[in-house]
Structure 1
Amino acid sequence: MTTITADLKKEVKKAPVRGMMDNVMEQFNSAANHINLHPNIRKILSITNNEILVNFPVKMDNGDVEVFTGYRVQHNSALGPYKGGLRYHPTVDIDAARALAMWMTWKTSLAGLPYGGGKGGIKIDPSKYSESELERITRRFTYALADNIGPEHDIPAPDVNTSSQTMAWIADTYMSTRPPAERSANQHVVTGKPDGSGGLEGRDRATGYGVYLSIKFWAKKNNVNLKGKKYIVQGFGNVGYWASYFLEKDGALLVGVQDAYGSIKSANTIKVEDLFNYAKANKGSIVGFPYSEPVSKNDFFSLDCDICIPAALGNQITSENAPFIKAKLIAEGANGPTNVEGEKVLLERGIAIIPDILCNSGGVVGSYFEWLQNRNGEIWQLDEVMAKLDKKMQESFNKVYDYSKEEGIDMRTAAFCIAIKRIEKAYIQRGIFP
């Protein structure tokens, strides 16, 4: 790994701040140029199919009415129904939803799934609302979206600040709007449901397990033993926790964690289960964990480690902090955590990146398994689910890694090329109506 040069430092300081849509479009165009994508298909894939914005009123616990704004962007359905999460966060807007929907199109295509890409959510800070208020907000949002989602049309899933409970509310509300004879056949309108409501056993860990598998596959390709390797995780929610859980079992050492409340580090190791239980007892916060010391937010990514797992929000690794990252591998557990300028710095320094559309695709693969299970009236056991997930992730990783080596390109560009070529093939074979 090379050190940051003075010239590059000077260059990255001047880099403009980009939105998520700017990042995904630059990534798309770079791959499209590499494969000489047909100009007509480039035009189609550069825009979204549908963009839904809904404003809806909800009565609060105190009797007041608040009006919320929700979004659902459907990017492309050439390979199948739109698929993608719903997030509840103050940063949700149409630009973010467009970018995330486009990333989902590439992610589902790369994984070889019969899906397109969609994304959305509500512009809201869920910590400011009671559970009963969140239930009413979710149900009213579902009602507003009802004609734009469906088990063979657009299938939402959990994302930032949404959960299996959120999905259960959506499924119940959606099924309640269907004719009685059709209700049971619409259970797979969402994935990520609780086990007792049609959910897939193991879906809770699928994304984090996929991140772990990607790291394991990369380590094997590069003759790296994970035992004793230090790693840091940004975001200790579902993805960060499960990725850490499986890495710890392989002997890797968690030495730093950052969440929305603060950052911590340890000179030795942070026990994953101890931190999970501590956060659970402290309203989700890792701050004050007794076997650690605090770290400033700006210093987190510069912690001494071998592996860095950004598993929170987008645009976290930028030209400002990328020069100081000490990790040899970035495993993207979040969607779009590294912006274009930050990635240029990392690649210049010889730092490997497992891109989001590959690294965190275990979640959408698990969603596909759940959708199939519901559709076919089956119940899959945990060991069967994990074995299928392992096989699917291995196939995707090998395709991307081998293509990147053959073409002499980075893994993100390789992943985009493979994903886009599959969609291009569908358009060429079917033609464009009329």
Structure 2
Amino acid sequence: MTVIAKGKTKKLPLRGMMDNVMEQFNSAADHINLHPNIRKILSITNNEIIVHFPVKMDNGDVEIFTGYRVQHNNALGPYKGGLRYHPTVDIDAARALAMWMTWKTSLAGLPYGGGKGGIQLDPSKYSPSELERITRRFTFALADNIGPEHDIPAPDVNTNSQTMAWMADTYMSTRPPAERTANQHVVTGKPDGSGGLEGRDRATGYGVFLTIKFWAHKSAESLKDKRFIVQGFGNVGYWAAHFLEKEGAHLVAVQDAYGTLHNDDGIKVEDLYNYSIANKGSIVDFPEAKAIPKADFYTTDCDICIPAALGNQITSENALYIKARLIAEGANGPTNVDGEKILLEKGVTIIPDILCNSGGVIGSYFEWLQNRNGELWQLDEVMIKLEKKMRESFNKVYTFSESEAMDMRTAAYCIAIKRIEKAYVQRGIFP
């Protein structure tokens, strides 16, 4: 990695996700003078589960898979967080992501702690029937470590409502008959017909859009004719772009795992989405935009940048060349510490992941409540409740940031950690 500063070139090692989350945590903990004992507790995870399990493939061969579930902290309530299927899943990534979930749920004022996990695999290499068997076997292996009042998984990278339906069915099948329907809220992000929340599919992306809208309002600006770029055109990236376009903003560049597109006159979001669905999820060869090199994505002239793919995407190598005035973190941990320092020095505003993409876990909370109480919420009701919750979180972070003259990430961490500290102070530590 290279950093160019004052005419000199400096080599820096690439930080891991855990390094980033710990530096962010310690910076906020220092600012609020977090009690040393509580700092010790929050610096480590409560439980780390690694499971190895066999699954029979379509051709009759057996493959062994490794799955992870890290439970960071449950001082405020059950562990909550997604499961991803990706080659980068390992224990270090799960630890970092679980910690981020603890801060995210605390900041949103939810009665949850933080957990995260997944399986180390490339789902594109497996058939739907193989993925179903992998998911069900993974759920069975985790069954004693998850539960509707203990640890509640949700979709994440490369998992979706179908994955959650398989998980819920498998988990409920392992319970005594009288308890099965009472365990429907063991996971969230389920399909509408299987206890899912109407609007859960767009909750994360809508939340990203809302934080951008709130930022524009605070800046006394309109989103009309703002130029934005999106990395990751999955569920989060698509819905964020969808709502921004409705406000009159223009998508000028987009990148997914397969390619990078640019059109200075704007890319029609719905046209690109429909094309990607027909093209097996890929944006490659979309006729209304031209392909550009992957490295050129972050150099695109724009007002708003939405990294909505994986972690560690904005680093000291590319932060120097980013032209956006606003980074809205749709993904978890997309900006590493070194990249963030450069962006802040340039005067770029960053809406941090634990605030920006918290619409997903807020939507999950609504689904959990709906299942728990035997209710059915309508889409308009969900969207109103989501906007209210996101506005409350944004205003808290923005106000704290302004009053303390600090960046929004540190402000968000301070608020989240102080809420957890208060719980420990009031309850004490057993025994």
**TM-score, normalization by structure 1:** 0.98
- 2:113 corresponds in structure 1 to 116
2:384 maps to 1:387: yes
Given residue 251 of structure 1, which amino acid in structure 2 is its aligned partner?
A: G
CA gap of 1:273–1:384, structure 2 versus 1, over 3 A, is same
3-state SS, counterpart of residue 426 of structure 1: helix
Letter in 2 for 1:288: D
Alignment match, 1:410: 407
Which residue in 2 is equivalent to 1:276?
A: 273
Match of 2:5 in 1: 7
Q: Tell me what 2:57 maps to.
A: 60
Deviations 1:308-329 (A, max 9, x none): 0000000000000000000000
Question: Aligned pair 1:349/2:346, yes or no?
Answer: yes
Could you tell me how far apart the structure 1 residues matched to 2:167 and 2:221 are? 43
- Does 2:76 align with 1:94? no
State which of 157, 164, 168 in structure 2 corresponds to 1:167.
164
Matches within 5 A, 1:36-47: 36-47=33-44
Please tell me whether residue 192 in structure 1 is matched to residue 184 in structure 2.
no
The alpha-carbon distance between structure 1 residues 9 and 314, as it changes in their structure 2 partners (threshold 3 A), is: farther
Equivalent in 278, 281, 286 of residue 289 of structure 1: 286
1:267 shift after superposition:
1.6
How many angstroms does 1:171 deviate by?
0.1
How many Å apart are 1:223 and its aligned residue? 1.1
Q: Distance in 2 between matches of 1:267 and 1:358?
A: 30
* 1:226 alignment partner, one of 208, 223, 227: 223
Q: Distance in 2 between matches of 1:9 and 1:395?
A: 44
Specify which of 68, 75, 88 is matched with residue 78 of structure 1: 75
1:339 is matched with: 336
Match of 1:397 in 2: 394
Structure 1 segment 233-312 matched on structure 2, within 5 A: 233-312=230-309
Alignment match of 2:129 (pick from 122, 128, 132): 132
Secondary structure at 1:118's aligned position in 2?
strand
> Which amino acid letter does the alignment assign opposite residue 168 of structure 2?
A
User: Which structure 1 residue ranges, 5 or more long, are not aligned?
Assistant: none
Gaps of 5+ in 2: none
Q: Residue 10 of structure 1: CA displacement?
A: 3.7
The answer on 1:141 being equivalent to 2:138 is yes
Paired residues of 1:9 and 1:323 also in contact (CA < 8 A)? no
Amino acid aligned to 2:205: G
SS of residue paired to 2:415: helix
Q: Which residue is equivalent to 1:151?
A: 148
Distance 1:420 1:10 in 2: 38
Partner of 2:372: 375
Distance 1:159 1:355 in 2: 18
Q: Match of 1:106?
A: 103
- Secondary structure, in 3 states, of the residue corresponding to 2:75? coil
Over 6 Å off, 4+ runs:
none
Show CA shifts across 1:177-224 (max 9, x none): 000000000000000000000000000000000000000000000111
Contact map agreement 1:316 1:338 (CA 8 A) in 2: yes
Structure 1 position 164, deviation (Å): 0.1
Structure 2 length as normaliser, TM-score?
0.99
Residue number in structure 1 paired with 2:315: 318
State the shift of 1:366 in Å. 0.1
CA distance in 1 between counterparts of 2:8 and 2:170 reads 54
RMSD of aligned C-alpha atoms?
0.9
* CA–CA separation in structure 1 for the residues paired with 2:154 and 2:270: 26
CA distance in 2, matches of 1:15, 1:221: 36
Size of the alignment, in residue pairs?
429
DSSP 3-state at the match of 1:379: coil
- Percent sequence identity over matched residues? 82
How far has the Cα of 1:9 moved from its partner?
Answer: 6.7
Instruction: Look up the SS of the partner of 1:305 in the other structure.
Output: coil
Distance 1:157 1:113 in 2: 15
> Counterpart amino acid of 2:302?
C
**Alpha-carbon distance, 1:269 to partner:** 0.6
CA distance in 1, matches of 2:426, 2:33: 17
